[in-house]
């Protein structure tokens, strides 16, 4: 069951933890800078760009999920992270991705779902 | 790599057919066929959609291909091995794709490898092994990181198109299990589970849980997704902070989704709304207004009133770098007050360099200041968004700053905005409301119903006949009109009621029923109410106008009660806001004594007026420490009519009947000597509450399991007493009725009987004899037990009885010291009748020589200084407020003179009469007590008359003996002393100086007297010494200060003075002793004193007399007799 895995933050209490606004994965800013977002780096392009990290991730999230087996987990499916890497995810992330990301998603025909649980249909 | 395609497939599948179970992604070819079928079935629109999606998917694949191209090297070594079979399928698919023409056939290499693999699997494995061995580990690591780092995974928005409701859990999904954990550790444990699962992944005991999560709104629990509870408990085993013993609870399937949907009440921060600052500490709790919000919602631009330290530490101003530190420190200890930024002020303190100006904005210490406000970005987490409740004051302050200076014009829209949200919550059906914004603005009516944010109103007015209208709750506000009687429902004015005087938008001003002051509140906090609220005057145990102790030095009077706090005016005139728990105790000033400017006593409830200052009038609520008086005047506006002033500056407004009697018994209160102890007593009563007199008593339990135990009362509380038992060192609480006081004799008496002994000064009025008996002992108590004091005491007590002379028992006290003290002019005559061995013995040379203590006797023999030593124990009033000095000097008048004279006489005489048993015992150089209790004849006689005395006698400590022994006697034994005449028999003392005043001489008329010198002084300069006369009558003043006199008819009047039957002070009159048989005599001293008889025989000192009215013949000392002239005229 070797699956891609995000780096797990060592300090759960750290105020520094940030959650990706798109996929809700939780990492330290250092990890975001080093590796980018393990799920959506392709579109977010945060790796090596602290400014980008600060707009694409947030500290304002709530609820912490240890996603151990995303493929089979209902939680992952509910959170729409089933296809993402293993790692820590936030239940709820406040804020929206930057406009350019939103535009890019739109251009790709991907429906953007903010992670703040505002539109649960 | 197959993931990618699966993703796309799943998405498409789900879109194509919602009923399709997406758990089993169909094979590609299957899907194709399936889709084909569908295409046939469904209408064209859907077809088009489908096609589009297919195109999309195709396009996506097309884009992907080149990337896949780069990966084979990695694939070969890492990704492939576990999926050999699938790979083949994949390859087939790939081939298919290739045939489709999507791929440009650039995969020659890979194809080669495929061929190779198919040909010889074993060879391939060998080669792989070789390659693995060859490759150094660094390369592997690099590859791994390369793989993880790759950005090739195209974000596809995965399942974003699926509606959330289709993601609801099914029975086939794993369950959620609720696990109890230590509150605060939830997040840690979720992380721990994650790490643990990673660690154990390839061990022989991997964790079988799928996920775990935690919600901030569900403290103390985490949820674990697993197939069975066993898996959960296995996963949790060994983790600290998890309580599997408290149950691993299955979450019902329908509740699973809601656990992840929990949403905290979202508080949206919008520009213009109010927040409170939590951090930095310098601004903690301050109100701030939101100006803007950063894009990601993390930081908020705020505007608030700065707190600039205008008195920084010295070094802080020296240079900019040092400044930061002290600023940070001071912010914790004492933060500077809120103050609008003032360029001049800041420049003055920090220097011109510290502040720079850009446009209209000042920059100071990296903060920007505009219009006096500081503008600062703070993180949302450092703000308090809920329960902001800006007060009118704070908002006024804000608006004032905006207006520039001091314009009190409150911007109501701001307040309205601030209070609007809350206003929705307070509406109730039936409330009278008005619409203040929107189309219906101006319409008013009563609330019919409320649904969420929509209020249905029944409007009032002709045009709205029976209609109802719905308006948003935020657009209505409660409506009041002047004249309404309202009650405040919330806020610091809660429970106030009053009449509305004005309504300005949503600020209602009403006149409080209680304070008669105008109060402005938001209309949302008001309700129409008919009741006249008193407010609650009681909070906790404290009531309005209670005198309460705030701290050691401070007391105050509650003048206003608020919801859960008080306004207290302390004795310094300061107003404090205190909570009930800050009050250490309520104090009772009912017994506090304070005097007003006239010296009248001030009592709570008196109506008084200030004689100086403002001349305020008021009713006394409390007095404090005899100095402060708390007054109440309902008409006074400040502090609700309560004010504090000095008691000395008050004058009573009404005459006080009971206190006008200045010459009455209240004299003692005027006496500073007596007032002091009284005041002290009361003062302590204030401080500690009235002390129970029984505290400290030795008691014996008379009932219950502890019956017979002896202990000491340590504390009392109502009917309970806490007694420390002598045995076992145990404290028990016991009903007072079950304990009896244990007298030193071992006798028991109920606690509520007054004590015969010491310290019962409070019982002064209970009975004359006893009261006086007690009084001296109070002085003993004051002076302590040393013999000196003991000796000092008795004289002090004498004046009182002699003063009014109404206690026969007392005057006959068998107290030698009393005898001495009794050598006051008035007392002499009586004391003379009480032949007192002590007085006698006390004056023996032996006593003097032993001189073991600085007692008044010893010194009394030599000088009057002895009296001085004794005076401390003389605070009884009958000495006429005698000061120590007075006792010693001649202002004491004749008394002091007589004392000297008499004493010297007695001292001289003492040796001759000394060889009596009593004297002997006295002279024994043993401690006094021993002598007293020595079985000498005297002592025997002593103890004989009354058992009560005996008891007390023996029990006393040596030091206390003289005092206590004599203090104990009740009037009865005292009387017995006199009547028994036990002392009379052994008494060698002559009749006292003022024998004429003896109570036994019922009719002194006719007694033959002669003039003599008394205590060294002479009557009329001794001109009439030794002249004889006959008593006509005796005027007893019962007062030391005024001589008691006797009118004497002189037998041979020599001049004008004597002829007129003058009044002669009794101390100058000596009895004329009989000298012939047959003369009629009266016995003036001794146990038969007062009886008359006829002389039958004269023999030396003794005279045999037949007592009148009896047939008794008695031998009486000659000097105990006085000739009497039968009544003639």
Instruction: Report the range of poorest mean pLDDT among B409-418, B459-468, B707-716, B814-823.
Output: B814-823
- pLDDT above 60 (res A7): yes
**How far is residue B997's CA from residue B824's CA, in Å, rounded to a whole number?**
12
Selecting from A38, A75, A95 the residue whose C-beta is nearest the C-beta of B225 gives: A75
Q: Are A32 and A19 contacting, i.e. CB atoms less than 8 angstroms apart?
A: no
Selecting from A68, A82, A109 the residue whose C-beta is nearest the C-beta of B209 gives: A68
**Spatial CA neighbour of B232 closest among B221, B248, B255, B214:** B248
**How far is residue B1046's CA from residue B1052's CA, in Å, rounded to a whole number?**
17
In a domain, B162, yes or no: no
**How far is residue B701's CA from residue A32's CA, in Å, rounded to a whole number?**
82
Q: Are B922 and B716 contacting, i.e. CB atoms less than 8 angstroms apart?
A: no
**How far is residue B372's CA from residue B342's CA, in Å, rounded to a whole number?**
6
pLDDT grade for B949, boundaries at 50, 70 and 90: very low
How many angstroms separate the CA of residue B246 from the nearest CA in chain A? Answer: 22
Facing residues of B620 across strands? B631
In a domain, B758, yes or no: no
Last residue of a domain, one of B989, B1010, B1037: B989
* Buried b / exposed e along B619-655 (16+ C-beta atoms within 10 A): bbbbbbebebbbbbbeebeebbbbbbbbbbbbebeee
How many angstroms separate the CA of residue A28 from the nearest CA in chain B? Answer: 13
Chain-centre distance of CA B145, in angstroms?
Answer: 68
Selecting from A13, A65, A98 the residue whose C-beta is nearest the C-beta of B211 gives: A65
Q: Tell me the mean pLDDT in the region B857-865.
A: 38
Following DSSP, what letter does each residue of B452-465 receive, concatenated?
TTEEEEEE-STTSS
Q: What's the confidence (pLDDT) of residue B222?
A: 92
Q: Tell me the mean pLDDT in the region B610-629.
A: 83
Per-residue pLDDT tens digits for B330-387: 444 467 888 888 888 888 888 888 888 888 888 888 888 988 889 998 888 788 887 7
B115 and B6 in a common domain: yes
**How far is residue B1082's CA from residue B1074's CA, in Å, rounded to a whole number?**
10
Q: Tell me the mean pLDDT in the region B529-540.
A: 63
**Chain A residues closer than 8 Å to B169 by CB:** 74, 78
* Lookup: tokens for B875: 């605070």
Per-residue pLDDT tens digits for B648-695: 888 887 765 544 444 444 454 555 554 444 443 443 334 444 556 778
Per-residue pLDDT tens digits for A25-64: 999 888 888 888 888 888 888 888 888 888 888 888 888 9
Q: Identify from B9, B15, B194, B218 which residue to disrupt to test chain A contact, counting A C-beta atoms within 10 A and taking the largest count.
A: B194
Mark yes or no for CB contact B214/A64 under 8 Å. Answer: yes
Give me the torsion for CA of A10, A15, A21, A23, rounded to 10°. 20
Following DSSP, what letter does each residue of B334-347 receive, concatenated?
-PPPP----HHHHH
Mark yes or no for CB contact A63/B297 under 8 Å. Answer: no
B1056 and B1009 in a common domain: yes
Q: What's the confidence (pLDDT) of residue B1089?
A: 79
Q: What's the confidence (pLDDT) of residue B156?
A: 65
B487 and B465 in a common domain: no
Percentage of residues of chain B with pLDDT beyond 90:
3
**How far is residue B601's CA from residue B623's CA, in Å, rounded to a whole number?**
11
- pLDDT above 80 (res B248): yes
What is the span of the domain harbouring residue B1003? 996-1123
**How far is residue A102's CA from residue A114's CA, in Å, rounded to a whole number?**
10
Chain-centre distance of CA B128, in angstroms?
Answer: 84
Q: What's the confidence (pLDDT) of residue A89?
A: 93
Q: Identify from A15, A45, A63, A95 which residue to disrupt to test chain B contact, counting B C-beta atoms within 10 A and taking the largest count.
A: A63
Selecting from B163, B194, B213 the residue whose C-beta is nearest the C-beta of A8 gives: B194
Last residue of a domain, one of B972, B989, B1006: B989
In a domain, B395, yes or no: yes
Q: Hunting for tokens 């407004």 — which residue is that?
A: B653
B924 and B808 in a common domain: yes
**CATH code assigned at B463:** 2.30.30.30
B508 and B376 in a common domain: no
Mark yes or no for CB contact B190/A12 under 8 Å. Answer: yes
Interface list for A 73-112 with B (CB within 8 A)? 73-80, 82-84, 86-88, 91-92, 94-95, 98, 105, 108-112
pLDDT grade for B178, boundaries at 50, 70 and 90: very high
Q: Identify from B4, B210, B222 which residue to disrupt to test chain A contact, counting A C-beta atoms within 10 A and taking the largest count.
A: B210
Selecting from A47, A63, A113 the residue whose C-beta is nearest the C-beta of B214 gives: A63
**Spatial CA neighbour of B603 closest among B658, B528, B541:** B658
Mark yes or no for CB contact A8/B161 under 8 Å. Answer: no
Residue of higher predicted confidence among B946 and B994: B994
**Chain B residues closer than 8 Å to A97 by CB:** none
**Spatial CA neighbour of B517 closest among B349, B435, B639, B422:** B639
Instruction: Report the range of poorest mean pLDDT among B80-94, B1037-1051, B1107-1121.
Output: B80-94
The half-sphere exposure of B41 on its side-chain side, counting CA atoms within 13 A, is: 8
B484 and B472 in a common domain: no
Q: Are B533 and B495 contacting, i.e. CB atoms less than 8 angstroms apart?
A: yes
How many angstroms separate the CA of residue A14 from the nearest CA in chain B? Answer: 11
pLDDT grade for B755, boundaries at 50, 70 and 90: low
Measured distance between the N- and C-terminal CA atoms of chain A, rounded to whole angstroms: 32
**Chain A residues closer than 8 Å to B9 by CB:** none
CA angle B954, B957, B959 (to 5 degrees): 130
Q: Tell me the mean pLDDT in the region B581-590.
A: 79
In a domain, B412, yes or no: no
B810 and B711 in a common domain: no
Q: What is the mean pLDDT of chain A?
A: 85
The angle that helices B947-955 and B971-980 make with each other, rounded to 10 degrees, is 110
Q: Which domains does chain A have, with CATH numbers?
A: 18-107 (3.30.40.210)
Q: What's the confidence (pLDDT) of residue B419?
A: 57
Q: Are B997 and B834 contacting, i.e. CB atoms less than 8 angstroms apart?
A: no
Q: Tell me the mean pLDDT in the region B304-331.
A: 58
Per-residue pLDDT tens digits for B991-1031: 777 777 777 777 777 888 888 776 667 777 777 777 888 88
* Lookup: tokens for B430: 């039936």
- pLDDT above 60 (res B1049): yes
B525 and B598 in a common domain: no
* Lookup: tokens for B286: 């301050």
Mark yes or no for CB contact A35/B210 under 8 Å. Answer: no
Using the Cβ of A33 and the Cβ atoms of chain B, whether some distance falls under 8 Å is answered with no
B899 and B794 in a common domain: yes
**Chain A residues closer than 8 Å to B167 by CB:** 77-78, 80
Q: Nearest chain A Cα to B159, which residue? A: A80
Instruction: Report the range of poorest mean pLDDT among A85-94, B68-77, B570-579, B1079-1088.
Output: B68-77
Mark yes or no for CB contact A120/B261 under 8 Å. Answer: yes
In a domain, B765, yes or no: no
3-class SS of residue B674: helix
B951 and B803 in a common domain: yes
| Cis omega (within 30 of 0) for bond into B975 | no
**Spatial CA neighbour of B694 closest among B771, B770, B753, B747:** B753
**How far is residue B255's CA from residue B253's CA, in Å, rounded to a whole number?**
5
Range B661-669, long-range pairs (CB < 8 A, 24+ positions): B667/B877, B668/B877, B669/B601
Per-residue pLDDT tens digits for B198-227: 888 888 888 889 999 999 888 899 999 999
Residue of higher predicted confidence among B4 and B920: B4
The β-bridge relationship of strands B542-543 and B538-539 is antiparallel
Q: What's the confidence (pLDDT) of residue B250?
A: 92
pLDDT grade for B810, boundaries at 50, 70 and 90: very low
What are the respective helix, strand and coil percentages of chain A, to the nearest 5?
Answer: 25, 20, 55
Q: Are B307 and B283 contacting, i.e. CB atoms less than 8 angstroms apart?
A: yes
**How far is residue B766's CA from residue B548's CA, in Å, rounded to a whole number?**
33
Last residue of a domain, one of B100, B120, B149: B149
In a domain, B686, yes or no: no
Residue of higher predicted confidence among B826 and B275: B275
B965 and B837 in a common domain: yes
Instruction: Report the range of poorest mean pLDDT among A91-100, B402-411, B1004-1013.
Output: B402-411
If one counts every other C-beta atom within 10 angstroms of the C-beta of residue B599, the result is 11
In a domain, B623, yes or no: yes
Mark yes or no for CB contact B159/A83 under 8 Å. Answer: yes
Q: What's the confidence (pLDDT) of residue B414?
A: 54
Residue of higher predicted confidence among B523 and B881: B523
Beta-carbon contacts of B752 under 8 Å, excluding residues fewer than 6 positions away, are none
Mark yes or no for CB contact B211/A75 under 8 Å. Answer: yes
In a domain, B410, yes or no: no
**How far is residue A77's CA from residue B176's CA, in Å, rounded to a whole number?**
14
B924 and B1026 in a common domain: no
Per-residue pLDDT tens digits for A70-80: 989 999 989 88
What is the helix (H) or strand (E) element at residue B165, kind and residue range? none
Q: Nearest chain A Cα to B157, which residue? A: A110
How many angstroms separate the CA of residue B502 from the nearest CA in chain A? Answer: 44
Q: What is the mean pLDDT of chain B?
A: 66
Percentage of residues of chain B with pLDDT beyond 70:
56
**How far is residue B668's CA from residue B778's CA, in Å, rounded to a whole number?**
15
Percentage of residues of chain A with pLDDT beyond 90:
18
* Range of B80-89, B389-398, B515-524 with top mean pLDDT: B515-524
- What letter would DSSP give residue B278? -
**Chain B residues closer than 8 Å to A60 by CB:** 296-298, 380-381
**How far is residue B1071's CA from residue B991's CA, in Å, rounded to a whole number?**
9
3-class SS of residue B447: strand
Give me the torsion for CA of A68, A73, A78, A81, rounded to 10°. 40
pLDDT grade for B14, boundaries at 50, 70 and 90: very low
How many angstroms separate the CA of residue A29 from the nearest CA in chain B? Answer: 15
Task: Name the H helices within B805-888.
Answer: 808-811, 816-821, 828-833, 837-842, 845-850, 856-862, 865-870, 884-888
ipTM of the complex: 0.95
Q: Hunting for tokens 């006798």 — which residue is that?
A: B747
Using the Cβ of A66 and the Cβ atoms of chain B, whether some distance falls under 8 Å is answered with yes
Per-residue pLDDT tens digits for B53-75: 444 444 444 444 444 444 455 55
Q: Are B547 and B622 contacting, i.e. CB atoms less than 8 angstroms apart?
A: yes
Q: What's the number of domains chain B is made of?
A: 9
pLDDT grade for B1127, boundaries at 50, 70 and 90: low
Beta-carbon contacts of B238 under 8 Å, excluding residues fewer than 6 positions away, are none
């Amino acid at each position: 069951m070797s699956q891609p895995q995000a780096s797990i933050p060592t300090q759960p209490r750290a105020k520094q933890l940030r959650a990706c606004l798109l996929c809700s994965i939780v990492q330290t800013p250092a990890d975001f800078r080093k590796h980018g977002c393990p799920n959506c780096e392709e579109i977010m392009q945060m790796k090596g760009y602290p400014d980008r990290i600060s707009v694409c991730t947030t500290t304002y999230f709530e609820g912490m999920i240890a996603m151990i087996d995303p493929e089979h987990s209902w939680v992952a499916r509910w959170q729409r992270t089933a296809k993402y890497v293993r790692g820590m995810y936030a239940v709820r992330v406040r804020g929206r991705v930057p406009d350019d990301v939103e535009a890019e998603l739109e251009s790709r025909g991907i429906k953007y779902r903010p992670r703040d649980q505002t539109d649960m249909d | 790599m197959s993931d990618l395609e699966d993703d796309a497939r799943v998405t498409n599948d789900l879109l194509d057919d919602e009923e399709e179970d997406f758990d089993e992604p169909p094979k590609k070819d299957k899907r194709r066929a399936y889709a084909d079928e569908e295409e046939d079935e469904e209408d064209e629109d859907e077809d088009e959609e489908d096609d589009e999606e297919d195109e999309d998917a195709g396009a996506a694949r097309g884009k992907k291909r080149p990337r896949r191209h780069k990966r084979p090297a990695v694939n070969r070594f890492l990704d492939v091995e576990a999926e050999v079979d699938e790979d083949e399928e994949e390859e087939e698919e790939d081939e298919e794709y290739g045939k489709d023409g999507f791929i440009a056939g650039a995969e020659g290499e890979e194809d080669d490898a495929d061929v190779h693999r198919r040909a010889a699997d074993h060879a391939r494995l060998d080669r792989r092994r070789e390659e693995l061995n060859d490759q150094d580990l660094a390369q592997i690591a690099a590859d791994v990181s390369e793989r993880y780092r790759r950005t090739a995974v195209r974000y596809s928005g995965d399942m974003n198109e699926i509606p959330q409701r289709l993601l609801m859990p099914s029975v086939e999904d794993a369950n959620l299990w609720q696990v109890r954990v230590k509150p605060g550790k939830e997040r840690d444990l979720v992380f721990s589970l994650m790490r643990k699962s990673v660690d154990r992944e390839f061990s022989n005991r991997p964790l079988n849980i799928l996920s775990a999560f935690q919600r901030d709104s569900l403290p103390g629990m985490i949820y674990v997704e697993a197939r069975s509870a066993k898996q959960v408990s296995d996963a949790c085993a060994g983790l600290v902070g998890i309580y599997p013993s408290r149950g691993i609870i299955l979450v019902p399937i329908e509740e699973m989704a809601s656990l992840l949907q929990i949403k905290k009440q979202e508080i949206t921060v919008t520009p213009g709304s109010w927040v409170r600052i939590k951090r930095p500490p310098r601004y903690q709790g301050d109100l701030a207004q939101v100006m803007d919000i950063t894009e990601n919602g993390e930081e908020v631009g705020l505007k608030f009133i700065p707190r600039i330290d205008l008195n920084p530490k010295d070094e802080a101003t020296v240079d900019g770098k040092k400044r930061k530190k002290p600023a940070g420190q001071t912010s914790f200890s004492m933060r500077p007050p809120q103050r609008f930024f003032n360029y001049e002020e800041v420049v003055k303190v920090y220097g011109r360099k510290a502040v720079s100006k850009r446009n209209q904005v000042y920059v100071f210490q990296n903060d920007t200041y505009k219009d006096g406000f500081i503008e600062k970005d703070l993180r949302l987490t450092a703000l308090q968004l809920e329960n902001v409740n800006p007060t009118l004051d704070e908002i006024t302050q804000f608006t004032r700053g905006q207006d520039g200076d001091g314009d009190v014009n409150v911007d109501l829209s701001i307040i309205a905005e601030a209070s609007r949200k809350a206003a929705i919550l307070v509406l109730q059906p039936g409330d009278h409301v008005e619409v203040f914004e929107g189309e219906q603005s101006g319409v008013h009516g009563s609330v019919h119903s409320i649904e969420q944010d929509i209020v249905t109103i029944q409007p009032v007015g002709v045009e709205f006949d029976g209609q109802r209208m719905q308006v948003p709750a935020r657009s209505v506000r409660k409506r009041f009109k002047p004249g309404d009687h309202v009650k405040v429902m919330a806020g610091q004015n809660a429970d106030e009621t009053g009449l509305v005087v004005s309504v300005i938008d949503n600020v209602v001003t009403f006149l409080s029923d209680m304070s008669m002051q105008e109060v402005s509140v938001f209309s949302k906090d008001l309700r129409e109410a008919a009741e006249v609220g008193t407010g609650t005057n009681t909070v906790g145990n404290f009531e309005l106008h209670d005198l309460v102790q705030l701290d050691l030095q401070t007391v105050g009077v509650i003048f206003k009660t608020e919801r859960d706090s008080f306004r207290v005016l302390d004795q310094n005139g300061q107003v404090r806001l205190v909570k009930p728990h800050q009050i250490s105790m309520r104090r009772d000033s009912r017994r506090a004594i304070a005097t007003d400017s006239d010296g009248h006593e001030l009592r709570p409830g008196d109506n008084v007026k200030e004689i100086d200052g403002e001349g305020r009038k008021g009713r006394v609520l409390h007095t404090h420490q005899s100095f402060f008086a708390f007054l109440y005047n309902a008409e006074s506006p400040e502090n609700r009519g309560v004010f504090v002033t000095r008691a000395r500056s008050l004058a009573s407004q009404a005459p006080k009947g009971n206190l006008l009697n200045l010459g009455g018994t209240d004299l003692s209160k005027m006496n500073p000597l007596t007032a002091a102890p009284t005041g002290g007593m009361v003062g302590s009563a204030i401080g500690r509450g009235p002390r129970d007199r029984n505290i400290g008593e030795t008691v014996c339990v008379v009932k219950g399991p502890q019956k017979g135990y002896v202990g000491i009362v340590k504390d009392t509380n109502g009917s309970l007493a806490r007694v420390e038992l002598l045995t076992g060192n145990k404290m028990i609480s016991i009903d007072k009725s079950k304990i009896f006081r244990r007298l030193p004799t071992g006798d028991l008496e109920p606690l509520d009987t007054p004590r015969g002994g010491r310290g019962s000064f409070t019982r002064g009025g209970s009975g004359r004899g006893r009261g006086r008996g007690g009084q001296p002992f109070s002085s003993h108590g004051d002076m302590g037990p040393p013999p000196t004091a003991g000796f000092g005491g008795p004289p002090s007590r004498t004046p009182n009885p002699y003063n009014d002379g109404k206690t026969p028992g007392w005057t006959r006290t068998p107290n030698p010291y009393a005898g001495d003290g009794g050598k006051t002019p008035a007392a002499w005559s009586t004391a003379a009748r009480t032949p007192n061995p002590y007085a006698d013995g006390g004056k023996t040379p032996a006593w003097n020589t032993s001189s073991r203590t600085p007692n008044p006797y010893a010194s009394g023999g030599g000088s009057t200084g002895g009296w001085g030593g004794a005076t401390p124990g003389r605070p009884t009033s009958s000495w006429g407020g005698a000061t120590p000095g007075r006792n010693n000097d001649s202002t004491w008048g004749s008394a002091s003179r007589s004392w000297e004279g008499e004493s010297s006489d007695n001292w001289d005489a003492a040796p001759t009469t000394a060889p009596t048993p009593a004297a002997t015992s006295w002279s024994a150089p043993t401690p006094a007590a021993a002598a007293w209790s020595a079985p000498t004849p005297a002592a025997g006689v002593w103890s004989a008359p009354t058992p009560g005395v005996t008891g007390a006698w023996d029990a006393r400590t040596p030091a206390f003996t003289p005092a206590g022994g004599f203090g104990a006697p009740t009037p009865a034994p005292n009387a017995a002393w006199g009547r028994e005449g036990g002392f009379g028999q052994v008494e060698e003392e002559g009749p006292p100086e003022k024998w004429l005043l003896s109570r036994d001489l019922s009719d002194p008329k006719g007694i033959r007297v002669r003039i003599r010198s008394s205590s060294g002084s002479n009557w009329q300069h001794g001109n009439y010494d030794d002249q004889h006369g006959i008593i006509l009558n005796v005027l007893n003043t019962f007062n030391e200060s005024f001589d008691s006199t006797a009118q004497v008819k002189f037998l041979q009047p020599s001049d004008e003075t004597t002829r007129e039957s003058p009044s002669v002070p009794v101390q100058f009159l000596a009895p004329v002793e009989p000298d012939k048989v047959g003369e009629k005599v009266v016995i003036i001293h001794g146990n038969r004193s007062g009886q008359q008889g006829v002389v039958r025989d004269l023999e030396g000192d003794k005279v045999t007399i037949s007592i009148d009215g009896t047939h008794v013949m008695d031998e009486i000392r000659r000097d105990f007799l006085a000739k009497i002239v039968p009544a003639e005229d």
